[in-house]
Chains A and B, each alone.
Chain A
Amino acid sequence: MHKLEFILRRLVSSIFVLIGVSIITFALSRVVPSNPAVLYIGPRARPEDIVRVTKLLGLDQPLPVQYFIYMRDLLHGDLGTSIATKRPVLQEIFDRAPASLELLFTGMFLVVVIGVPLGVLSARWQGKPVDLVTRTISIIGVSIPAFFLGLVFQIIFFQNLHWLPLATQYSTDLRFTNPILPVTNFQILDAMLTRNWVALKDTAIHIILPAITLAAYPIGLVARMTRASMLEVLEQDYIRTARAYGTKEFIVTYFYALKNAISPTLTVIGLTFAYALTGTFFVEIIFIWPGLGMFTVSSLLNLDYPAIMGMTLFGATAYVLINSIVDLLQAWVDPRINLV
């Protein structure tokens, strides 16, 4: 029962946070230096349009009323209309989300599968070569800007070594000869589901560089955090107890110690998701990946206000939800949290 109560409490607080997020986004969309109506329609607004939009958005009404209209539209799924594409922002987001999600999940998968083991090994063999290598990789990952790393990768792996493709999700010629049937709109997943092995190999190769570029910073963070956490845990008395009862060292490390150390690591993984959300902006531009990142960047260039505000709201909401899930996972792993 404790756990259920915790989950409910967490969900309720998330809702409050989301309301707050909507307030801030609303404030941002109204606090702009120029007339919000003009920004809403675009630079080529005619006077009649401005009047119409002003009425539509309720810009002549007091702020609380405006907020109410804003929330009403929001709950109906109306995030505004993109100035550039003339389609609903929500529609644009849904169309492009799969590509970004594919990149994100692949990246986060790499983070967990590379970052955590590196951190654990680094703590277990403190001072030995694997520790030094891990710490070097970590600090470089955390210091290099993603947009620069991507370019470096392109030079090394595409131009010099000819191992990996330069950009995009799928080779252009293969798009015609082996088109992927859209089932879920996730390219790699669809290729697998439709047994399109040629496409599968190609899309998999294409996602490598963008995913690693995206994962570099989080891997650095996660490896460092895991290492620090493991080191602290390995000092504890209960580890001495485990050894005092004859437990083999690798069980001590990967079972008794790790289960205690995993909690701060989970927090960091949640935080890195935040990074990854915004990291996709840079990675997608460099690798011309048709996802939300590219959409955001082009919206920035086009001064597409509704699109940017819609993306901000969407991104913040996703972030809040992910953090909630991470909190719940932590509670599940660490029995002490239940008593909060």
Chain B
Amino acid sequence: MTTLLEVKDLFLEFKTSQGILKALNGITFDVNSGEVFGLVGETGCGKSVTGLSILRLLPRSASIRRGEVIFNGVDLLKISQDEIESVRGSKIAMIFQDPSSSLNPVFTIGSQIERVVRQHIKVTRQEAAEQTKEVLSAVGLPDVKRIMDSYPHELSGGMQQRVMIAMALSCKPLLLIADEPTTSLDVTIQAQILKLLRNLQKNFNVSVILITHNLGVIAQTCDHLAVLYGGRVAESGPTETIFNQALHPYTNGLMNAIPRPGGRGRKMATIPGTVPSNPGALTGCAFAKRCKFAFDRCVVESPPLYRVDDNHHVACFLVENQSK
């Protein structure tokens, strides 16, 4: 198990008409080779933005203030535009939430994927078409020839997402970033796509960063995960550990909030309050206002990511004594 990607202390800001929005305030996590890593959190916690930052796909209004994104020993944030363009799609590939709007409507599926292949690998048209066919069948699409000649609007949502995954895998990347890949799909299709991702991860030996707000999805698919809140990592570690022994009050709250069968009649557990709109503007812990364990220090100081175990990190003063 080697470390494939290290995100260290990432700070990101947006310039908006209402001022500076501090979206990421010190994101830190590692992704190992050969695993599915989950980035989970509610809307607005910064998980999608983190994904985009890795490939520097942010809009012009965004600026990365601090931090490193080390991939195979290279800090992606510091390389040139040409160099990051050669990484995009070939070493790290990304798929997005809404496949119907993410595919270009006036080009056939085949031509879109072939172009990606020829962008990064020196092959002939013939060879690119072959590779496209291969990867389209690898994602479980039937009648590959017909799909290659089809346009995106002629396919169903599930098929479109498979096409996107195929495009992502076409150049055999080392890392796949999947930003809410199943959120806009039906539940049954969701399960299929997730299963597909798990299989592909093994067959293609690619690591996956799965960005989602759905804990159920995380539980099914991920080996490790990081819980984000207010632009910071609240807790990170192996899936089983987090689900069974969550140490951060926010993570705990999330776990408790999952409705379980047999609980009829019992009040649903919620986390009181709402997500902060500009978390970076706060001085202390982003969760302090909603935390029932909060004490004075929490409002003033922001807790660092304590190392509780080999892989288990928690950003909360409560674990200060347990940390190694």
Contact = CB atoms under 8 A, between A and B. Distances in A.
Interface residues of B, number: 27
B104 A244 contact: no
A260 interface: yes
B105 A238 contact: yes
B102 A246 contact: no
A260 B120 contact: no
B57 A244 contact: yes
A245 B119 contact: yes
B1 interface: no
A243 B106 CA distance: 17
A33 B13 CA distance: 72
A248 interface: yes
B105 A335 contact: yes
B106 A333 contact: yes
Interface residues of A, number: 19
Interface string A199-215: 00000000000000000
Interface in A228-246: 236-238, 240-246
A238 to B, nearest CB: 4
Contacts of B107: 256, 259
B93 interface: yes
B103 A246 contact: no
Contacts of A248: 85
A244 B164 CA distance: 12
A306 B93 CA distance: 69
Contacts of A242: 104
Interface string A313-340: 0000000000000000000011110000
B218 interface: no
Contacts, number: 63
A237 B102 CA distance: 5
Given A260-B104, A333-B106, A335-B105, A241 B119 contact: no
The dominant DSSP class at the A interface is: helix
Interface centre among A241, A260, A336 (most CB of B within 10 A): A241
Contacts of B89: 244-246
Interface string A244-281: 11111000000010011000000000000000000000
Interface of B: 55, 57, 85-90, 93-94, 96, 98, 101-107, 115-116, 119-120, 151, 153, 164, 167
Given A256-B104, A336-B106, 4 more contacts: A236-B101, A237-B102, A238-B105, A245-B116
17 contacts: A237-B96, A237-B98, A238-B104, A240-B102, A243-B88, A244-B55, A244-B57, A244-B94, A244-B96, A245-B89, A245-B119, A246-B86, A246-B87, A246-B119, A335-B106, A336-B106, A336-B153
The 7 A-B residue pairs whose C-beta atoms are closest, nearest first, are A245-B89, A246-B88, A237-B101, A238-B104, A246-B85, A246-B89, A237-B102
